[in-house]
């Protein structure tokens, strides 16, 4: 006896077509500062898409699904200061089945430098993430599957992390504060229904790689 669930389906073979474009440009002025730009585009055509519906049963969609994504990466570097930006725009014609945030962004601002005669590499900064409202998938641990749901929405909440990373030869030390805006007029965010993302917390870790 086990807890396995068996489905008997007669699905048509599904297929995916993926087309992408990639363009990069890097501008450098002297050796201490530069600007780097990357633009990528993706198009997906999914035929006979198979998914788990809101009643947690496998289902096949007869209509073709079109997904369009555009990515913009813009990084700036001036001496020891870095500003990295990533913006993702996306659209699905069948958002009831594949509900994506139309806009997702991540921004990192940090200072990085060698200290103490280059014996220690230090990086200190912050990460800011944001995405627009969408209906995230639900997750069923019994089935170990994500499923479509259209009742609960999440997003429109900035997530702020701060960090300090130190490296001395093969020893790495990090201190990180996760989701510091939670509780300051902002609730938790969810990666899937009933599965919250990182709560406001502080983490400390040490990694020591031994060499022969």
pLDDT digits (tens, 9 = 90+) for 112-152: 998 888 888 899 999 999 999 888 898 988 888 999 988 88
Average pLDDT of span 103-107: 96
Q: Which of 73-87, 119-133, 150-164 has the lowest mean pLDDT?
A: 150-164
Angle at 195 between CA 97 and CA 126, to 5 degrees: 100
| pLDDT value at residue 188 | 67
The CA distance from 113 to 109, in Å, is 14
The stretch 30-40 carries a mean pLDDT of: 83
- Residues 89, 59 contacting (CB under 8 angstroms): no
Residue-averaged pLDDT of the chain: 87
Residue 186's pLDDT is: 59
Cα distance between residue 139 and residue 128, in whole Å: 26
Are 117 and 23 in contact by the 8 Å Cβ rule? The answer is: no
pLDDT of residue 1: 39
Mean pLDDT for 66-86 is 94
C-beta separation of 137 from 113 below 8 A: no
> Is residue 156 helix, strand or coil?
coil
Give tens-digit pLDDT for 86-96.
Answer: 999 999 999 88
Tell me the pTM.
0.84
- The phi and psi torsions of 205 (rounded to 5 degrees) equal -150, 155
The pLDDT value given to residue 28: 79
Q: What is the pLDDT of residue 116?
A: 84
Model confidence band, residue 3 (pLDDT cutoffs 50, 70, 90)? low
């Amino acid at each position: 006896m086990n807890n396995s669930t068996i489905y008997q389906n007669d699905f048509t073979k599904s297929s995916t077509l993926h087309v992408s474009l990639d363009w990069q440009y890097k501008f450098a002025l002297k050796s201490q500062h530069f600007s780097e730009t990357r633009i990528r585009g993706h198009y997906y055509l999914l035929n006979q898409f198979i998914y788990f519906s809101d009643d947690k049963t496998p289902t096949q969609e007869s209509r073709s699904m079109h997904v369009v994504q555009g990515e913009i990466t813009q990084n700036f570097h001036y001496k020891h200061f870095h500003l990295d930006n990533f913006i993702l725009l996306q659209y699905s014609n069948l958002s009831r089945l594949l509900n994506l945030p139309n806009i997702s962004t991540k921004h990192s601002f940090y200072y990085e430098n060698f200290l103490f005669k280059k014996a220690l590499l230090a990086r200190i900064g912050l990460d800011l993430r944001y995405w627009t409202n969408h209906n995230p998938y639900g997750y069923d641990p019994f089935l170990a599957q994500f499923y479509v749901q259209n009742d609960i929405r999440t997003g429109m909440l900035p997530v702020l992390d701060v960090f300090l990373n130190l490296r001395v030869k093969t020893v790495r030390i990090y201190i990180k504060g996760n989701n510091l805006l939670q509780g300051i007029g902002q609730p938790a965010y969810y990666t899937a229904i009933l599965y919250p993302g990182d709560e406001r917390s502080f983490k400390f870790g040490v990694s020591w790689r031994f060499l022969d």
